[in-house]
Amino acid sequence: MAANLLLVEDDPLIRRSLAARLRRSGHEVDEVESVADARHAIGAHNFDAVLVDYKLPDGTGFEVMATVEEQSGRPPCVMLTAHASVEHAVEAMRRGAYTYLQKPVDPDELDMQVKKALETGDLRRENRRLKRLQKSAINADSFQGISPAAEEIRETIRQVAASPAQTILIQGESGTGKGLVARALHGESLRREHPFVSITCSAVPDTLLESELFGHEPGAFTDARKRKIGLLEAADKGTLFLDEIGDMPPGLQAKLLGVLEDRAFRRIGGVKEIRVNVRTISATHQNLDKLVGEGRFRKDLLYRLRVIPMHIPPLRDRPEDVSVLAQQFAKDLAGDWGRRELTLTQDALDHLSTRSWPGNVRELRNAIERAVILARGNRLDASCFREEPTESDSIISLPPEGINVEHVIDELLRKALDRTGGNQSAAARLLGLSRDQVRYRMAKLGLLARHGAAHA
């Protein structure tokens, strides 16, 4: 896990030795030798962790740690000391140190403790993100923008959410925010105190999708050892969000139509009819009328889903929203990654507003996230984005002998997980996938156990 580190050590030989070891491990290291220099560096740059000597020419490492504690990100600190004692260790921990290392520092111990400190920093960021999500319920105002189109969408969300409509269809290009609109419809409705349950139809194998939706009884099929409650049942009195509905297999489309008409279903292998009160919101980037014409989607199901249709326009049709979204993403992502609040300069906003954003809001957010992660100061200017490839750029060459696309996707997933320290949500954003799709591929590759639930 590569990171930006600050090393505060006044002995030049020790400092150079430790810095060299950390750089060989893939980290970027800023070296300073005093409390004053450390404070200046912390004020000017974002660090993922700080390694600080206890005894410095103009003070102690505790003073550096106090400065770190004032930062919004609060990167973990590792104390270095030549005079280790129980009392010293307790005092270091009390003042906020993640751990301490006795000099001379064992190189392997250094690597291990820095790795653990960085993992702790990741957990802190994830906790801050989850707390922020808990405090900020998703509603119509969550769909941000100053364009007439954005205002119309907010008003439509409020009207539709308050209506008795049981089925809503959201259409729009990939990355426009269909999932956000679905959650806002739930958050504005009287169902908001009940579950919001979502599934991405394209992320689950056809053979499992039916079981996920309807559940099953013991013995319904091989490995069905106990009863499973399906998502329809779990969403009772709330909202079921079916993302990428265009990828639902035809056989399952018929069963879904029956549920929408009768508000009842049976678990796989079951005989008892289960009645549910569920609002169903479906979303797709595909042209469902075209799929109907091709025989890949049921016409009667389309009519049932499209009782209340909503269309989310692409970002290129509302360019005035780019600056608003970019600034909000910079603020939110700085908090997620433990950075101080970052400022987007006017030339950066002008540059972002001129791009076509074929990947829409998702692509814009990914560009901002990359810039935030790599930021070395507290300002993001146009140069932070000019190297960011757009979705229309060719970033993969096709060899003459061809290529296995599945292997490419798996390799990109591994790289995204490595870059984000195993954070599945962040990896999904980098790849333009849903978290369900990332978890499905991780399970296929046997990566879930390795990265663990803490990074979910």
Q: Residue 156 sits in a domain of what CATH number?
A: 3.40.50.300
Strand ranges (DSSP E) for 285-395? Answer: 308-311, 343-344, 379-380
Domain identity same for 297 and 179:
yes
Domain identity same for 334 and 426:
no
Kindly give the residue spans of alpha helices, DSSP state H, lying in 263-345.
288-293, 299-305, 321-336
* Nearest in space to 81 (alpha carbons), one of 93, 66, 69: 93
Among 108, 135, 162, the domain boundary falls at 135
> At 344, is the secondary structure helix, strand, or coil?
strand
Assess if residue 391 is contained within a domain: no
Assess if residue 396 is contained within a domain: no
Q: Residue 412 sits in a domain of what CATH number?
A: 1.10.10
Domain identity same for 177 and 274:
yes
Assess if residue 266 is contained within a domain: yes
Residue type, 424: Q
Domain identity same for 346 and 326:
yes
**Residues in contact with 318: Cβ distance below 8 Å, sequence separation at least 6, in sequence order:** 145, 147, 149, 150
Assess if residue 400 is contained within a domain: no
Domain identity same for 196 and 309:
yes
Domain identity same for 299 and 334:
no
Which domain range does residue 172 map to? 143-313
Among 313, 334, 367, the domain boundary falls at 313
Domain identity same for 92 and 28:
yes
Q: Residue 31 sits in a domain of what CATH number?
A: 3.40.50.2300
Domain identity same for 348 and 215:
no
Domain identity same for 437 and 358:
no
> At 224, is the secondary structure helix, strand, or coil?
coil
Domain identity same for 238 and 172:
yes
Domain identity same for 62 and 87:
yes
Assess if residue 399 is contained within a domain: no
Counted domains in the chain: 4
Digit-by-digit pLDDT tens for the chain (456 residues) are: 568 899 999 999 999 999 999 999 888 899 999 999 999 888 777 788 999 998 899 998 899 998 888 776 678 999 888 766 667 777 777 788 888 888 888 889 999 999 888 888 888 777 776 665 555 578 999 999 999 999 999 999 999 999 999 999 999 999 999 999 999 999 999 999 899 999 999 888 887 898 899 988 888 777 777 888 889 999 999 999 999 999 999 889 999 999 999 999 999 888 889 999 999 999 999 999 999 999 999 999 999 999 999 999 999 999 999 999 999 999 888 877 766 778 899 999 999 998 989 999 999 999 998 888 777 778 888 888 865 444 444 455 566 666 777 778 888 888 888 877 778 877 887 887 777 788 878 887 878 766 554 345
Cα of 432 vs its chain's centroid, Å: 10
Domain identity same for 259 and 157:
yes
* Nearest in space to 251 (alpha carbons), one of 218, 316, 298: 298
Among 264, 293, 313, the domain boundary falls at 313
> At 33, is the secondary structure helix, strand, or coil?
coil
Assess if residue 392 is contained within a domain: no
Assess if residue 241 is contained within a domain: yes
Q: What are phi and psi of 229, to 5 degrees?
A: -80, 125
**Residue 274 has what pLDDT?**
92
- Both tokens of 365, joined, read 């957010």
**Residues in contact with 265: Cβ distance below 8 Å, sequence separation at least 6, in sequence order:** 214, 232, 255, 258, 259, 273, 274, 276
Do 245 and 255 contact (CB within 8 A), yes or no? no
Assess if residue 254 is contained within a domain: yes
**Residue 98 has what pLDDT?**
86
Q: How far is CA 172 from CA 59, 77, 315, 401, in A?
A: 59, 46, 11, 36
